[in-house]
A = this chain, B = another copy of it.
Amino acid sequence: MKASHFYISTLKEAPSDAEIISHKLMMRAGMIHRVAGGIYSYLPIGLRSIRKIETIVREEMNRAGAIELLMPAVQPAELWQESGRWKKYGPELLRLKDRNARNFVIGPTHEEVVTDIVRRQIKSYRQLPVNFYQIQTKFRDEIRPRFGVMRGREFIMKDAYSFDKDRASLAVSYKKMFDAYVRIFTRIGLEFRAVIADNGSIGGSESHEFHVIAETGEDAIAYCPTSDYAANIEKVDCIPLSNDRAAPMETLLKRATPGKAKCEAVAEYLGIPLERTVKSVVLATDVDGKIKIWLLMLRGDHHLNEIKANRISGLEEFRFASEVEIVEWFGTSSGYLGPIGTKRPMRVIADQTVANMSDFVIGANELNFHLTGVNWGRDLPEPEVYDIRNIVEGDPSPDGKGKIAMCRGIEVGHVFQLGTKYSDAMNATSLSETGKSQHIEMGCYGIGITRILGAAIEQNFDDRGIIWPETIAPFEVVLCPMHYDRSQSVRTVTNQLYEDLLNSGIDVILDDRGERPGVMFFDWELIGIPHRLIIGDRSLKEGKIEYQERRHTDTLFLEKGSAAQVVARKVKAAKKL
């Protein structure tokens, strides 16, 4: 490609609404153009990277035996009513009416549409397993679209749906997709982790998220550096920190803790470790119009995991108690609460770590007072015990193979075992070997194509701009000739390099715009082309061409005759071809 036949449009400054680095750099590099909140046009530079991601995803999907089709963006409400999601999905589902006032949605996913295809086409186990995928435009009406393509409303996704005759076969289909995802992100060349995930609203059983590791990631990931364990923090089951409770050593005392409402302040004031304190989290539920209060007890340095709390019977729809409710049930306000001597009765739930503590500190249900030397059984009844906290750095890994470390990630892929959730609701069945009608076992598998762009940038940038991996760079090599229009020798050598690189199968752009060197370098460093050759009369006199990798600062001088070959070899090595 010659730059004069292409569209390049860079900016010195990012627009003010761009909060994160990938959004800023994509705007500045002219990859995207904002159309409305969370809705972008992909400009030519951006689309090139998207197409390369799509190609890698498509190749690996095909290799894994998935079959491509294409489903519509606009879907009839009837299918969503059948599955139950018409009611459950909430305002992220963009609903609309056609000219005949019939209800439709713009699909955020396609479980309903693909299940409808399968239930009408598949009759027998002999037609199974089958896995359909598409690369298609989706819409999710985010309450606060932001971060450019990272949380847009309209986006491109690869979604695959597997159909199996039984759970064992589903597990095989799931594994194939899991392995394909590992290959995809490995091929793209991003640092990533497959983590055990919570299923969220899609439902089902086993599921993994694929995260690109980046400091700016929205999700916290707990992993074990000495094993392959990794999980979204929301999902990690904590192992009890000790197996027994020590015998009581202290007597119960009421101590003044003036103005010390936080565990940290109490520990410091009393001169004890934070790990000896216990915090009280007060939740409320409404049961047939009657309010019920729950006291959840966590060690002072731990945090409530709301998803785990949600799983406790009766707490499925909890909310945090109001200050008015707290005063009514405890007789005092937050900061000095505890299970001993409350004004009204309540359910007390202890985290499993708290349940094994002795001689601990809790609020006294009196302003500016705490109780020390508290012990289960002796000073208050044994509690109900659950795992209700988030795991923290240094905790034992749930697989028993080391200690937990933390990192942050950007979710770019997700694989689910859906089971028969949709095939039950929509009655998608097949005849088994014994002639019995069975609900088909489903899996679903998504990759955020456009989100990968943002995630790749969050992981690979510097103060000059983007640093693309070769696999998904808009171009692999840029040729920057000095005085292309005036120097015959520069033009001849540049054109020859261009032809040689093209013939080696390299995706090269020749900057023939006639811009000053400073402008050329600024543009291509911002856009992030991984390899740059500068062709100038000065180095040509010595038979050399200046070469720089975007990732490194040092400059190499390559022999004129072999420069194309050297660079082509580097590109192919990086792409593992």
- Please tell me if the beta carbons of B154 and A40 are within 8 angstroms of each other in the complex: no
Q: Given contacts A7-B132, A130-B7, A141-B98, is CB(A47)–CB(B69) below 8 Å?
A: yes
Contact A35 B5 (CB under 8 A): no
By a CB distance below 8 angstroms, the chain B residues around A50 are 70
Q: Given A44-B67, A44-B68, A96-B94, decide whether A154 and B74 contact each other with a Cβ distance below 8 A.
A: yes
Given that A121-B9, A141-B99 are contacting pairs, would A154 and B41 also be in contact in the complex, using a CB cutoff of 8 Å? Answer: no
Q: Out of B9, B76, B98, B154, which one reaches A72, CB within 8 Å?
A: B154
Question: Is B39 touching A74 in the complex (CB atoms < 8 A)?
Answer: yes
Stretch at the interface among A112-120, A164-172, A243-251, A543-551: A112-120
Closest-by-CB residue of B relative to A97 is: B96
Q: Count the A residues whose beta carbon is within 8 Å of the partner chain — how many?
A: 51
Per-residue interface assignment for chain A, residues 128 to 144, with 1 indicating a CB less than 8 Å from any chain B CB and 0 otherwise: 00101000010101010
Is A558 at the interface (CB under 8 A from chain B)? Answer: no
A133 to chain B, nearest CB (A): 10
- Let me know if B98 and A35 touch, CB within 8 A: no
Judge whether A73 is part of the interface by a CB distance below 8 angstroms: yes
CB neighbours (8 Å) of A9 from chain B are 121
For A76, the chain B residues whose CB sits under 8 A away are 35-36, 39
Q: Please tell me if A52 contacts chain B, counting CB pairs below 8 Å.
A: no
B68 touches A47 (CB 8 A): yes
Residue of B nearest to A154 (CB): B72
Q: Are B132 and A65 in contact (CB under 8 A)?
A: no
- List 9 other contacts, CB 8 Å, given A5-B67, A42-B70: A36-B76, A39-B72, A41-B72, A42-B71, A43-B69, A43-B117, A44-B69, A47-B68, A96-B106
List A residues at the B interface (Cβ < 8 Å).
Answer: 5-7, 9, 33, 35-36, 39-44, 46-47, 50, 65, 67-76, 79, 91-92, 94-99, 104, 106, 113, 116-117, 120-121, 130, 132, 137, 139, 141, 143, 153-154
